[in-house]
A and B are shown apart, each in its own frame.
Chain A
Amino acid sequence: MNQSVKEWFESRTGLGRIFHKEMVEYRVPKGLTLPYSLGMLAVLFFVIQIISGIFVLMYYKPDAKLAFDSVNYTIVQVVPWGWFLRSLHAVGAGFFMAIIYTHMFTGVYYNAYKNPRQLIWITGWVIYMVTILLVLTGYLLPQGQLSYWASEVVSEMPTAIPLDIMDKVSLWIKGGFSVGDITITRFFALHVVLLPLLLIVLVFLHMQFFHQTGVTSADGREVHGNEKETVPFIYVTLKEGVIIAIVLAAFSYFIFFNPAPFTPSANFAPADPMRTPAHIAPEWYLTAFYEIFRSIPGKFLGFMATNMFLIFLLLLPILDTSKKKSATKRPLFYFMYLLFLLSFAVLSIEGTQPDTAQSIVIGQVFFFINMLFFVSLPVIAHFEKKKEAIQ
């Protein structure tokens, strides 16, 4: 009976075959390290965002006068378990970004962008961009002071490019001369419909691509298609299950005990176009860019410098000409990689602090170090080739 039901469905859907192909036939290298689970975690948190998002969406009101109260009063205080949904969505966004960054930095560490995985890297980069748009549009929605002023700053960004048309672009983003009702509904539509849909498609492509090429092994060898050195993916999901449970335990700590770091207190002041806050900083996942932007003199140069990081990131498959993979086998690369991480961390932290002469110097120095990593890649590749030739 059971078997015939199974066959009835299988002959009509073919889902079992897909499951078998993706979980059993798809094999991954033995000895994968913990950071290899970050992709799965990112998917998990994307799902958490969608589910919690749907529920807060049921009570949220995209309106300049109503949004703030619909979040801070209706959802958090009136709706049963609304505080939980709101925390899920706010803390979830923070975790999601933290995981995306760590996943990306892991990819850099293992050189996961190299031939034949360029398209995995590029889709990953686009996912990163879309995620940034998602958090930016989402940040406006609660209509706090930070929401308002951060959105003002962001939608003025295009005007850093000295072209007449950019004023129009900025106007078009906002739908008016300042952030207002139209901007909210506009960002709202992007945040709940267009960007998540885009992300779903992109994540699907990203996953399809690495199922096609396989992942790199931790020590940088190509073992895809080698039965001996790989295991069916389904075995790895068991390990990922353990990691997911541990991360969810940490996540629960923030939800139930300490959601404050994810809902900045300054954003509990209702948006007020007449009152500029003394100190505006974006959320932490953008403070590195913010720090670069404000420490480079000149709006246009600052804008370009900020984008350099993103562009270099995209160009990694081209910049890193070495055939070797994984920092575990490349001491020079490993050293530069540490500098890269360190500079990113320092820029991110300094970006949360008020604008002072000291923060400008720190911004410039660590921006330089950050760029040094990208620029050094061809040089490192050159040395590695030489060393190989000697051996």
Chain B
Amino acid sequence: MKFLRSIPIVIILGGLFYALWSGILEPSEWKVPQSAEIIKAKVGEAQLIKEGSKIFKTSCAACHSLRYKKIYPFFVNAPNVKPLFKILMKEHNGFLTRDVYESAFALQLEGLKAAFGSVPPDLSTAYVYLGEGKLFNIIKNPQKVLPGTKMPNMQLNDKQVLAVSAFMKTAILPTAKETSRRHLIGIIVIIFFIILAILLALYRKVVFEEDNIEE
């Protein structure tokens, strides 16, 4: 009876936390097309990242920075900017914090803003906040996702888009190797706690019997 009474409560609270923590409440409206998913599986992530790195540095970096990968827009290579850029990179070990970056290159960033209406954002975390599907569609056809945007259609094919996206992912999320390392640690930790729970339960039984305690 006591058991029956708790069932609705477990269902309500369990349902609440399942809904909140399983991600079912945030369906994404943009998806990577099926045809591209096939390419992704065929080419493999490592290869895509390698190609994506090249594409990003040669086309996207015309406008965008990817600071978490120490990639900065083309303007840093202009003869009048390069000396300052070199000094700053040396001082800051390659990672320019936003305050340094935005004040040192305020003029150049203003220039981009004048040309495009807004400064092309740093893309270090874009993979996560846009989500893979939306990111894919923006790169493939910016006008479709962001109507009226000044972001140009870079005319990349599906594989190239996947490559850039895979590379951008590495700027914010752990690599496949690192992820599996974390999973391995996780499995060990979880097993440890389960064994601990079993041992404690057994110990408790022994203590209760020895001390003649009833529950």
Q: Which residues of chain A have a CB within 8 Å of any CB of chain B?
A: 30-31, 33, 63, 65-66, 68-69, 72-73, 77, 83, 94, 98, 102, 105, 109, 144-145, 218, 231, 235, 238-239, 241-242, 245-246, 248-249, 252-257, 260-262, 265-270, 284, 327-328, 334, 338, 341-342, 344-345, 348-349, 352-353
Contacts and interface: CB of A to CB of B under 8 A. Distances in A.
Contacts, number: 132
Interface residues of B, number: 54
B13 A102 contact: yes
7 contacts: A72-B172, A241-B200, A241-B204, A242-B200, A253-B186, A268-B172, A334-B5
A145 to B, nearest CB: 8
Given A66-B99, A249-B197, A255-B186, A261 B215 contact: no
B201 A256 contact: no
Interface in B1-33: 2, 5-6, 8-9, 12-13, 15-17, 19-23, 25-26
Contact of B183 (A66, A254, A256, A262): A256
B156 interface: no
B23 A65 contact: no
Contacts of B207: 235, 238
A300 B13 CA distance: 31
A77 B128 CA distance: 15
B186 A31 contact: no
Interface string B192-215: 011011001101100110010111
B12 A30 contact: no
Contacts of B106: none
Given A72-B125, A242-B197, A338-B8, A65 B102 contact: yes
A27 to B, nearest CB: 11
Given A246-B194, A257-B182, A261-B21, 15 more contacts: A31-B215, A65-B99, A66-B97, A235-B211, A245-B194, A245-B197, A246-B197, A249-B189, A249-B193, A253-B190, A256-B190, A257-B183, A260-B23, A269-B129, A338-B9
A270 B98 CA distance: 11
A207 B214 CA distance: 25
B99 to A, nearest CB: 4
A126 to B, nearest CB: 23
Contacts of B122: 270
Given A231-B213, A235-B207, A353-B25, A245 B193 contact: yes
A66 B98 CA distance: 7
A-B CB proximity, top 5 nearest: A256-B186, A245-B197, A249-B193, A238-B204, A268-B128
B174 A83 contact: yes
